[in-house]
Amino acid sequence: MSILEITHNAGFFSCCTARLFQIIEYFNLNKSIPQIVDCKKQFKNYKTGLYIDTDITYEYFKHPDEVCLPNISWNGPVELSNIVLQDKHKLQITNYKDILLANISYFIEKYFTLSDNVRDLVDYILKKYSISCHETCGVYYRGTDIFEETNTGPWDEYILRAKEIKEKNENIRFMVQSDEPGFVDRFILTFPDSIFVREVSNEDKFIHSLYFLATMYIISKTKYIICSSSNVSLWFIFFRNNTENIIQYLNQKEYMYTMKNELYQHNQSETDHWLY
């Protein structure tokens, strides 16, 4: 029996990205998918007490055996992007239009279909906040420690992008989330009818993670998305399975964690870092 153990542990969507990439790497090496994917050492930030050594992956996503898909055939290695990356985890800070979604979609559906519990939370949030995805623009700003990996841009620029969308679509309502409370406050001051899912702020880390996943999934389905570059934003693209109406802020740092950033270009724009 083939077993793939995944031990990467960090933030929620960082864990998801590592799980996806390692499954694809296994497929590329073995020309088949693993029979068992062991993620007991992942998502530790969201475990407490007796659950610390438990694989809680399937609290978030359906077990792959529950997802009815034909077996994937070997047609050569699965490439993630048009960009050659020495470190594939930097995919989160590339132009998302370069991602080869057609190559990845099988693995997203097989291993990251929402669990029934999370799907119920999606329905709950949609109803409670009266969200109509086709009349909503998702806005996500990743702050805090991401500055070590990429530049995120001034808050006012995100608000300006939102104003541009509002001018063209007066019925658009914004759904805003961020790990920077100040950004949310500033955005809602400008757009008072914006949606902010307060349940994501639950002090219970496990409950927080369930609402966080459900909320980010909803944003992935909105008509427009304004976002910084991060693992969270990367999963908007994976869940959405397209890059239409994505407005992405991308501004590479020359160095990441004191190491030279392979993606940095000296001739990159000094003023315009928005990708449409």
DSSP state string for 167-199 = HH-TT-EEEEEES-HHHHHHHHHHSTT-B--GG
Residue 238: how many other CB atoms lie within 10 Å: 21
Beta bridge partners of 224: 137
What is the amino acid identity at position 146?
I
Q: Write down the pLDDT at residue 68.
A: 94
User: What domains sit in the chain, N to C, each tagged with a CATH number?
Assistant: 3-111 (no CATH), 116-275 (3.40.50.11350)
Instruction: Return d(Cα 248, Cα 74) in angstroms, integer.
Output: 33
Q: What is the DSSP string of 33-70?
A: --SEEE-TTS-GGG--GGGTTS--HHHHB--GGGS--P
C-alpha triplet 221, 117, 38: angle, nearest 5°: 95
Torsion of CA 199, 204, 207, 210, to 10 degrees: 80
Which position has the token pair 């992956």? 57
Instruction: Return d(Cα 173, Cα 175) in angstroms, integer.
Output: 7
pTM here is: 0.96
What the block records as the tokens of 249 is 């802020």
Q: Write down the pLDDT at residue 266.
A: 54
- Ordered per-residue pLDDT tens for the chain, 276 residues: 799 999 999 999 999 999 999 999 999 999 999 999 999 999 999 998 777 889 999 999 999 999 999 999 999 999 999 998 989 999 999 999 999 999 999 999 999 999 999 999 999 999 999 999 999 999 999 998 888 889 999 999 999 999 999 999 999 999 999 999 999 999 999 999 999 999 999 999 999 999 999 999 999 999 999 999 999 999 999 999 999 999 999 999 888 787 888 888 755 665 689 999
> Measured on CA atoms in the order 230, 235, 241, 246, is the torsion positive or negative?
negative
